[in-house]
Structure 1
């Protein structure tokens, strides 16, 4: 299937200043970090009408939506976006309201904020809103962008819980169904800063066909046609490829016991590096061998 939409998944942002501060115009340049000037700008560049694209901020994952939504509006408007709004969907019945669905139909970009990815899937999953999202992503020049929880929920399989320190103990990592925009991957966020690599190891050893994607903060991936991934932002993307695993004790140990894995392949991507999900080949943009 030829996917016309694009995914932009983001690991989260370091808090280096808030757009809700007073004296916005005076301090805006100091408040912008790489996430806001780099990745949000890339969203505009990739969108159908650039700065005139209709952008809807979806705050469903957040428990403080009235604070988070306006912050993103100000961030996009500082980058000269002309047409940004916030859709507050906090109950499943709202995801079937015609006024809400009409705004989604007219959107060129949706930006899902951070929070709890289970709020996203439990509130939006299986609703008319979800159906329209998937249809637009498959058939239109449309961008699904998500940070933190919004990124984790984008794939068909979703990590929703798991201690970083005990992630390689059998059963510690909890996986559920995501929103289903992309198959064959599982995504974790705030990855480097919170030491979550063990969570991806366990997710991948349970099904080595699935590629683990760990997104650092201030870092994202632009995915086109569900095949080509480009690292964007200032940090690192860690890929965990389990297809060459030679052995594991996963099925032999009890719940809560350590997992052993032999020959798990990892890749580290930084800005402008690419990875093809069909060939599993990575290209380093600034390779020392060029």
Structure 2
């Protein structure tokens, strides 16, 4: 299937995973690491009408939506965006409001903020709002951007709970259905800083066909046609590929017991590196073999 839209999934920011700094107006460039790493600027450049694109910030995942929403607006306007507003959807009935749906139909970009990804799926899942998101993503020059919870919810399979320290104990990682924009992957966020690699290992060993994606903070992936992934931002993206697993005790041990895995393949991506989901091949932008591969090195 030829997907017309783009996904931008972001691991979250060090400062609360959102733009809630109180002195943003005075010291915006220092407070928002996304300015330094260029993630939000890249979002504008990739959007249909650039700074004139219609952008809707969706705060459903957050417990403090009235604080977070305006800070995203400030951040985007600081970068030159001229047409940004906030959609506060806190109950399922609001996701069927014709006023809300008309705003979504007119949007070129939606940005889902951080918070609790289970709020996103339980409030939006199966509504007209959800249907329009999927239709626009498949058929229009449209961007779904999500940070933290908004990123985790983008795929068919979604991690919604699991202790980092006990993540490799059988049954500790909880998985449910996400919003379903992309299949064949499962996404975790705040990945490096919160030590969540064990969560992704367990998610992948349970179904090795699914590629695990761990997004560091101030780091993201731009995904085009649900196949090409490009690393953006200042940190790391960890990919966990379970297709070559040779052995595991997953089905032999009881709930709460440690899991063993043999031959689990991992990749580490940094800015401008790419990964092809159709071939499972990674390309390092500054590779030592760049000349032989014909890759750009600038």
**TM-score (norm. length: structure 1):** 0.97
How many Å apart are 1:33 and its aligned residue? Answer: 1.6
How many Å apart are 1:27 and its aligned residue? Answer: 2.4
SS at match of 2:145: strand
Superposition pairs of residues 234-249 of structure 1, within 5 angstroms: 234-249=234-249
The answer to whether the Cα contact below 8 Å between 1:228 and 1:275 also exists between their aligned partners in 2 is yes
Structure 1 distance, partners of 2:248, 2:28, is: 51
Deviations 1:210-251 (A, max 9, x none): 000000000000000000000000000000000000000000
SS at match of 1:267: strand
SS at match of 1:212: strand
Structure 2 distance, partners of 1:106, 1:184, is: 29
SS at match of 1:66: helix
After TM superposition, which residue ranges in structure 1, 4 or more long, deviate above 4 angstroms?
16-20
Structure 2 distance, partners of 1:38, 1:237, is: 16
Deviations 1:7-39 (A, max 9, x none): 000000012995653571x42333332357611
| RMSD value, Cα | 1.4
Structure 2 distance, partners of 1:40, 1:166, is: 34
Structure 2 distance, partners of 1:18, 1:157, is: 27
The answer to whether the Cα contact below 8 Å between 1:19 and 1:75 also exists between their aligned partners in 2 is no
Structure 1 distance, partners of 2:259, 2:177, is: 23
SS at match of 1:221: strand
SS at match of 2:38: helix
Structure 2 distance, partners of 1:81, 1:234, is: 22
Superposition pairs of residues 101-250 of structure 1, within 5 angstroms: 101-250=101-250
* 1:21 and 2:13 are equivalent in the alignment: no
The answer to whether the Cα contact below 8 Å between 1:215 and 1:236 also exists between their aligned partners in 2 is yes
Aligned to 2:260: 260
Which segments of 5 or more consecutive residues in structure 2 lack a partner in the other structure? Answer: 291-298
The answer to whether the Cα contact below 8 Å between 1:191 and 1:217 also exists between their aligned partners in 2 is yes
Structure 2 distance, partners of 1:10, 1:241, is: 20
SS at match of 2:22: coil
Aligned to 1:284: 284
1:245/1:18 CA distance change after superposition, 3 Å: closer
Structure 2 distance, partners of 1:118, 1:27, is: 33
1:119/1:55 CA distance change after superposition, 3 Å: same
Structure 2 distance, partners of 1:177, 1:132, is: 18
Deviations 1:73-124 (A, max 9, x none): 0000000100000000000000000000000000000000000000000000
Structure 2 distance, partners of 1:248, 1:144, is: 36
Aligned to 2:296: none
Count of residues in Structure 1 that have an aligned counterpart in Structure 2: 289
Aligned to 2:78: 78
1:36/1:122 CA distance change after superposition, 3 Å: farther
